[in-house]
Amino acid sequence: ETGVTQTPRHLVMGMTNKKSLKCEQHLGHNAMYWYKQSAKKPLELMFVYSLEERVENNSVPSRFSPECPNSSHLFLHLHTLQPEDSALYLCASSHGTGRATEAFFGQGTRLTVV
Amino acid sequence: AQKITQTQPGMFVQEKEAVTLDCTYDTSDQSYGLFWYKQPSSGEMIFLIYQGSYDEQNATEGRYSLNFQKARKSANLVISASQLGDSAMYFCAMREGTNMNTGFQKLVFGTGTRLLVSP
């Protein structure tokens, strides 16, 4: 059982829809991340929240809007997406300082924009 | 800029045999971390093993070992005694050294290697 849970697992939405992806972690971590995984491309880091403050935004279009209401929850709000935004969206979390602060990932949300 | 290169899009191995998945990296940082993740068809990225740039010994975790050759900038994953459940995508990733003490990390991933284990 994963410590990072993402819902929904699958989402199909039209280009005019508004939807939200949810991520929840029960590992006591203080950093959370959104990654995008497109076919045949490396994972791309989209956003990083550390201690509920956004510390990284990798030139992501404004149609993606993250929200981190507390250290256990992370949302990705979607609106007016494009077909090229279809991908697997992975949430991850990690904890603290030190050497081997590996990130733990959720199972992802498979998003299809039609 | 940092870069991870995985040159093997796909690998085949027979059950119970060992397999090596290649990973080379490019960085100007002196301090960095290298990770391997496994992604089964379910989508979840599962952490396998970590190697720090200052670690003198190669990391090992059960059937996984990391062949770290710093001068060649390679961090190959060795899976011993392959099992059918090892069939998955495998990703090599690197963490920027500048974030070692900030409580969060930026991971740069390679394009992955698909491993298929046959009976």
User: What is each CA distance from B69 to A34, B58, B94, B96, in whole angstroms?
Assistant: 31, 9, 14, 18
Of chain A, the percentage scoring pLDDT greater than 70 comes to 93
Read off the pLDDT of each residue in B48-70 and give the average, rounded to a whole number. 94
Model confidence pLDDT, tens digit, residues B83-117: 999 999 999 999 875 555 556 778 899 999 999 99
Q: For residues A33 and A108, is the Cβ–Cβ distance under 8 A?
A: no
Half-sphere exposure of A59 (CA within 13 A, CB side): 1
Chain A CB within 8 Å of residue B50 CB: yes
Instruction: Report the mean per-residue pLDDT for chain B.
Output: 91
B116 vs B10: CA distance, rounded Å? 8
Q: Which two tokens stand for residue A94?
A: 């990690």
Of chain B, the percentage scoring pLDDT greater than 70 comes to 92
CA-nearest of B55, B64, B18 to B34 is B55
Least confident of A69-73, A99-103, B76-80, B84-88: A99-103
Q: For residues B82 and B15, is the Cβ–Cβ distance under 8 A?
A: yes
Residue of A nearest to B94 (CA): A102
Chain A CB within 8 Å of residue B102 CB: yes
Compute the nearest-CA separation of B85 from chain A (Å). 17
| B103, B106, B111 member nearest A56 (Cβ) | B106
Model confidence pLDDT, tens digit, residues B15-32: 999 999 999 999 988 888
B85 vs B117: CA distance, rounded Å? 8
Compute the nearest-CA separation of B107 from chain A (Å). 8
- Residue B103: predicted pLDDT: 60
